[in-house]
Amino acid sequence: MFKTLYRMMIGKPLDSHEAEGERIPKWKALPIFSSDALSSVGYGPEQIALVLAAVPALGLYSYFGAVVIAIIILLGVVALSYSQVIKANPGGGGSYAIAMKYLGVYPALTAGAALFSDYILTVAVSICSGTAALTSAFPILAPYHIYVDLFVLVGVLMIFNLRGVKEASTAFVWPTYIFLAAMFTTILGGLYQVFIVGVMPQEAVVQSSEPLTGVTVLLLLRAFANGCSSMTGVEAIADGVPLFKAPQERNAMITTGIMACILACMLGGIGYLFIYFHLLPIEGVTLMSVLVEEVFGRGVMFYFIQLATMVILYLAANTAFNGLPPLLSFMARDGYVPRYLGDRGERLSFSNGIVLLTLAAAILIVVFEGSVEHLISLYAVGVFLSFTIAQSAMVMHWKTSKEKNWWIYVCINGLGAVVTACVVIIVLITKFIYGAWIVCLLIPALVYMYLKIHHHYENVREQLLLTPEAYQTYMKVEAGRNLIIIPVASPTQAVAKAIYYAKATLGPDDKIYAVHVCTDEIKGEKVKQLWQRLEPSIEMVLIPSPYRQLSSPLVTFIRRLRKAKSPNDVITVLIPEFETKKIWHRLLHNQSGMILRARMLNYVDVVVVTVPFKFTK
């Protein structure tokens, strides 16, 4: 029954040869990779306005246009840079892979850590924002907002992504396009009002006449840093190149370009309308909804756009599901995260990575009690850090490639690196006390963890390495006797089966010990007597256990045996284990077989044989 449910949710397994069929065309890739970036126009311009309009007397609002233009230019540089990353690194893996290639391990791992923390935050923040939109529409759901979060995370995003990227993209493609249509309708409707109808703004924008001071520059920088939150998610395509249809690099580059253009148009259009209508942030409503009301009034269109915005916020989380698992698979291949994160599941998605992302985001949501306000401060440092690293790596790439006009590319990427590094510093300074410090601790901790993991895998590789010569030498060592120990609680059919197996595989010099760990002296004597009637040819050893423990006395017994016998002798512990017919029956048995097995393997050098005894009812 559980299996049927699982199949219904995940779908039938896909053959490895179907991998090509799971790849997606550009028009599907665009929504699934860019829902994060595109959705941020819903709140990016507002974040700028919030800072600029905070102190009206300073007259900073007049710089709104300049800040938006600066962000669009930065977006152009970053997008250009990432399309070069895709070209230089067609295998995918984005900043991490390119940094590993040109800058070395530490920058690459820093990028990996930055992206890891950022993707998880993306999921948590987007889901919480989506639920905040939902609960403001349906206040009845407000007390259960964390359950709604977790349902969307596990029940929708995780399940759909486990079903494979193709199904997820099919499910999530339309909401994104509907959101885009809604946004452009708003922008075009606004421009129509401005240029054709000729609506005048309620208030003219006052040009600031004051010269710029230190404080105003800092505020402008902060507005700029806030607006940069619109750019999170731009790197997702470069992480997921292998998911594209062939020609992969070309399609991925074109998609990056299209995404950047759409984002730039939306930012520009919405920014222009904000300035033209001189919209100021109001407590409790989003600036976007004020703009929509200004353009269309409070009609059907108004509610439709609100709804589309809510849906796109949930989908923004999906970008991380498409970006992080492929990135983790790259890091797993290099041995910096657990290897199994690189395994493709039954549906060819990186299912372990998807589950890890889900778990991590769920923990964040529960710990921060689904509060967007607390989560958002941790955001954006990671993205810009990875941007900086990627662009620095590209500089190295051009310098070594010596292509035609390489110095132009070096300039572009160098400028990009400097600007994004500045953004990192600005974000760190302006958001440090609000939570960015957590990221400052988290990224080095993650890098340290990656290095420890890599160190372990290196150790393992070294210890497991087997040459044909080493193998031949090993096989030439003469094997000693096999000393078989069978723990007997009382003589039952299960023990009989174990004895039978032991006898069937017994060599001429081998020896069987039936061992009873004696927690109760009277019972011990009884078992011994029964045993002597049953099988006089096998010696029964009574091990006293005054403290009623099971494994410790047996460990001591085996250690003594080990010392007494030849070092070539093999000790085998043969454990009769019950296999119950129903799962709940397991709760009725004390798992001593399992505990014994675990302790034997851990504490003494023995081989453990499990002889199952299946209950038929």
Window 576 to 595, contacts with a second copy (CB under 8 A) = 577-579, 585, 587-590
Asked if 122 contacts 317 with a C-beta cutoff of 8 angstroms, the reply is yes
Q: Where are the beta strands (DSSP E) in 203-356?
A: none
- Pairing of the two strands 482-487 and 570-579: parallel
Window 14 to 43, contacts with a second copy (CB under 8 A) = 14-17
Reported as half-sphere exposure (CB side, CA atoms, 13 A), residue 237 has a value of: 37
* Closer residue to a second copy, CB minimum distance, 323 or 342: 342
Should residue 353 be labelled a site residue for a second copy when binding is judged by CB under 8 A? no
Among 6, 407, 434, 471, binds a second copy (CB under 8 A): 471
Burial (Cβ within 10 Å: 0-12, 13-18, ≥19) of residue 178: middle
Should residue 366 be labelled a site residue for a second copy when binding is judged by CB under 8 A? no
369: alpha, beta or left? (left if phi > 0; alpha if psi -120 to 50): left
Q: Which stretch binds a second copy (CB under 8 A): 10-18, 52-60, 254-262, 378-386?
A: 10-18
Should residue 356 be labelled a site residue for a second copy when binding is judged by CB under 8 A? no
Should residue 503 be labelled a site residue for a second copy when binding is judged by CB under 8 A? yes
Should residue 525 be labelled a site residue for a second copy when binding is judged by CB under 8 A? no
* Closer residue to a second copy, CB minimum distance, 66 or 460: 460
State the amino acid at position 288 in one-letter form. M
Asked if 112 contacts 279 with a C-beta cutoff of 8 angstroms, the reply is no
Distance CA 399, CA 376 (A): 37
Should residue 143 be labelled a site residue for a second copy when binding is judged by CB under 8 A? no
At closest approach, how far in Å is the CB of 327 from a second copy? 18
In sequence order, the β-bridge partners of residue 244 are: 24
- The b/e string for 417-430 (b: 16+ C-beta within 10 A; e otherwise) is bebbbbbbebbbeb
In sequence order, the β-bridge partners of residue 611 are: 576
Should residue 529 be labelled a site residue for a second copy when binding is judged by CB under 8 A? no
Task: With residue 271 as reference, give the H or E element that holds it.
Answer: helix 248-276
Among 499, 514, 515, 596, binds a second copy (CB under 8 A): 499
Asked if 77 contacts 419 with a C-beta cutoff of 8 angstroms, the reply is yes
Q: Rounded to a whole number, what is the distance in angstroms from the first to the last CA of the chain?
A: 19
Should residue 511 be labelled a site residue for a second copy when binding is judged by CB under 8 A? no
Residue matched to tokens 């703004």:
201
Number of residues that bind a second copy (CB under 8 A): 79
Should residue 283 be labelled a site residue for a second copy when binding is judged by CB under 8 A? no
Residue matched to tokens 């290099």:
334
Window 286 to 325, contacts with a second copy (CB under 8 A) = none
Should residue 616 be labelled a site residue for a second copy when binding is judged by CB under 8 A? yes
Among 6, 144, 177, 500, binds a second copy (CB under 8 A): 500
* Closer residue to a second copy, CB minimum distance, 131 or 352: 352
CA–CA distances in Å: residue 405 to residues 121, 249, 250, 408, 410: 39, 21, 21, 6, 9
Among 3, 404, 533, 563, binds a second copy (CB under 8 A): 533
Among 378, 482, 515, 596, binds a second copy (CB under 8 A): 482
Burial (Cβ within 10 Å: 0-12, 13-18, ≥19) of residue 507: exposed
At closest approach, how far in Å is the CB of 504 from a second copy? 3
From residue 543 to residue 572, the character string flagging contacts with a second copy as x (rule: CB under 8 A) and all else as - is ---xxxx--------------------x-x
At closest approach, how far in Å is the CB of 510 from a second copy? 8
Distance CA 164, CA 560 (A): 55
Asked if 325 contacts 358 with a C-beta cutoff of 8 angstroms, the reply is no
Task: With residue 609 as reference, give the H or E element that holds it.
Answer: strand 607-614
From residue 444 to residue 463, the character string flagging contacts with a second copy as x (rule: CB under 8 A) and all else as - is ---------x--xx-xx--x
Among 198, 477, 563, 566, binds a second copy (CB under 8 A): 477
Q: Which stretch binds a second copy (CB under 8 A): 41-49, 431-439, 491-499, 559-567?
A: 491-499
At closest approach, how far in Å is the CB of 253 from a second copy? 29
Window 321 to 350, contacts with a second copy (CB under 8 A) = 338-340, 343-346
At closest approach, how far in Å is the CB of 516 from a second copy? 15
Should residue 494 be labelled a site residue for a second copy when binding is judged by CB under 8 A? yes
At closest approach, how far in Å is the CB of 342 from a second copy? 10
At closest approach, how far in Å is the CB of 464 from a second copy? 4
Q: Which stretch binds a second copy (CB under 8 A): 125-133, 145-153, 226-234, 500-508?
A: 500-508
Should residue 3 be labelled a site residue for a second copy when binding is judged by CB under 8 A? no
At closest approach, how far in Å is the CB of 499 from a second copy? 8
Q: Where are the alpha helices (DSSP H) in 56-140?
A: 64-88, 94-102, 105-137
Residues 6+ apart with CB under 8 A from 93: 100, 238, 239, 241, 326, 327, 330
